[in-house]
């Protein structure tokens, strides 16, 4: 039966109207992060953050002592670790972009204006009548109008390598993921031919919905990130505790109990005000356990992820405001913070600053500068090893996550197997040892197989022979 007279298809005006109403047959590409944002993401690592704080504190010490070797070393460790991580992930993203390039210009046979013609895949619209042949990739979702021995490979969506399609309700299969009279974008015709009417295009198709879900970011920490977070909190608390104990001991011994040093309660109060303000301002950076614990208990409202990484600025501003308020409250006790006599002398302030530098030095020394670089290099080498095994990893921490996996849920066909059927046993009579040779009988068997098969072998690639058609016929 000829399909040319059967289906008139859409007119040019109907095509434009359908495209305006339902859109083009294009998948929306995932949003790309700019390079600067991709680089700044590397500084979200908890150890890198602590190193940054230690680097700036070390810079302050270096300016006073005019010795910059330690500071330069810390900054080099930071930029080496972040630079290597950025480059490897950028390189992986470039490879992913090449793999994800979809050819939307493939010619598709349709009928329009009562005439069979070819249009590009991107120009398919809802309502088009599409003709499918063996080897075609279905361009959009739709309902079958005709199906002759039609078999579809739906492994891209369901994992099933061969599904029978029919327009006869008596032949519909039960328990299948998608109706037997429905074809889906991205699936492949492996046998037979058919005609269908397009019902969904672009992002509305099942393939488009899966593509959108695949690009969604799941904000979950990897096991390594959790361990690094724990380590960073431990370093923060221990480093701050040692710094406070050291500063307090030196302050009490040499300032409060020191000989020849006189300090009034007002001066002590203003000094305490500055220390309290610094403590509040650095609380988010150096005491994350307190803040995160309050957040987990619901005492502190969670903020959106887009601003979560800048909360420490809020804490610094809060510390500054606390200092101002405490200073202004000094008027209630007769202490005027705008008078020079209300503050400690320059000599005492110099000694206190010296004690503070000693405390900060302990914090800087406690931070392992080489840890981020060693973690980055190990993950980068893992990415390279995975790439040699034909596994492309987008994020470096995914290598560590896969190593920590204990349970993998997967289907068999095409995943754990190659989805290539082979002949297990033959029964050709008169053929010695069931081995083909150059005799007339062997040639007759080979010609008979080729004549009675609907499958084809594609020799366009020398290294690998591609197969087209029914998997059983291919074997």
Domain borders along the chain are 12-18+104-215, 432-474
3-state secondary structure of 456: strand
State how far the Cα of 280 lies from the Cα of 325, in Å rounded to an integer: 13
Pair 148, 134: CB distance under 8 Å: no
| Alpha-carbon gap, residue 219 to 227, rounded angstroms | 16
Residues 55 and 74 sit within 8 Å (Cβ to Cβ): yes
The CATH class that applies to domain 12-18+104-215 reads mainly beta
Predicted confidence at residue 289, as pLDDT, reads 46
Alpha helix (H) ranges present in 368-470? Answer: 371-388, 397-403, 440-451
- Within 10 angstroms of residue 294's Cβ, the number of other Cβ atoms is 12
Helix 223-251 / helix 46-65 crossing angle, nearest 10 deg: 30
Helix ranges (DSSP H) in 179-252 = 206-215, 223-251
Closest CA relative to residue 381, chosen from 29, 48, 84, 23? 84
Residue 130 pLDDT: 93
Q: Which residue has the tokens 């290539």?
A: 420
Compute the chain's Rg from CA coordinates: 35
Please, are residues 88 and 380 in contact by the beta-carbon 8 Å criterion? yes
Averaged pLDDT, groups of 10, the chain, 475 residues long: 61 92 84 80 74 74 76 82 82 70 75 87 91 89 91 83 86 84 91 91 89 69 76 75 83 72 72 74 57 47 49 72 80 74 71 74 70 78 81 76 77 66 82 82 84 73 73 76
């Amino acid at each position: 039966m000829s399909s040319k007279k059967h289906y008139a298809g859409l007119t040019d005006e109907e095509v434009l109207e359908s495209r305006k109403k339902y859109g083009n047959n294009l998948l929306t590409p995932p949003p790309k992060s700019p390079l600067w944002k991709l680089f700044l993401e590397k500084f979200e690592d908890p150890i890198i953050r602590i190193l940054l704080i230690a680097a700036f504190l070390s810079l302050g010490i270096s300016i006073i002592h005019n010795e910059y070797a330690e500071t330069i070393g810390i900054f080099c460790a930071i930029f080496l670790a972040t630079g290597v991580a950025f480059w490897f992930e950028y390189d992986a993203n470039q490879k992913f972009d090449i793999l994800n390039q979809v050819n939307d210009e493939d010619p598709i046979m349709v009928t329009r204006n009562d005439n069979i013609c070819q249009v590009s895949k991107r120009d398919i619209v809802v309502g088009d009548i599409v003709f499918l042949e063996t080897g075609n990739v279905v361009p959009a979702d739709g309902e079958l109008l005709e199906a002759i021995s039609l078999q579809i490979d739906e492994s891209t969506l369901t994992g099933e390598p061969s599904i029978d399609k029919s327009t006869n309700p008596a032949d519909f299969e039960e328990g299948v993921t998608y109706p037997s009279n429905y074809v889906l974008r991205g699936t492949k015709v492996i046998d037979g031919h058919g005609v269908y009417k397009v019902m969904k295009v672009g992002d509305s198709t099942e393939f488009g919905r899966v593509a959108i879900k695949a690009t969604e970011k799941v904000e979950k920490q990897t096991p390594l990130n959790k361990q690094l977070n724990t380590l960073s909190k431990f370093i923060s608390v221990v480093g701050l505790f040692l710094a406070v104990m050291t500063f307090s001991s030196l302050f009490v011994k040499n300032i409060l109990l020191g000989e020849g040093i006189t300090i009034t309660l007002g001066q002590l109060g203003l000094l305490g005000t500055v220390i309290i303000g610094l403590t509040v301002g650095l609380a988010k950076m150096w005491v994350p356990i307190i803040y995160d614990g309050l957040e987990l208990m619901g005492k502190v409202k969670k903020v959106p992820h887009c601003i979560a990484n800048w909360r420490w600025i809020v804490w610094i501003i809060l510390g500054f405001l606390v200092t101002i308020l405490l200073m202004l409250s000094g008027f209630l006790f007769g202490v005027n913070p705008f008078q020079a006599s209300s503050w400690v002398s320059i000599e005492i302030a110099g000694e206190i600053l010296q004690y503070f530098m000693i405390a900060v030095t302990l914090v800087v020394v406690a931070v392992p500068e080489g840890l981020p670089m060693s973690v980055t290099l190990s993950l980068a080498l893992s990415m390279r090893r995975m790439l040699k095994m034909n596994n492309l990893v987008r994020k470096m921490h995914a290598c560590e996550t896969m190593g920590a996996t204990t349970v993998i849920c997967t289907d068999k066909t095409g995943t754990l197997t190659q989805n290539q059927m082979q002949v297990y046993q033959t029964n050709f009579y008169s053929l010695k040892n069931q081995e083909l040779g150059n005799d007339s009988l062997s040639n007759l068997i080979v010609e008979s197989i080729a004549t009675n098969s609907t499958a084809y072998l594609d020799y366009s690639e020398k290294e690998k022979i591609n197969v087209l058609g029914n998997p059983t016929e291919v074997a």
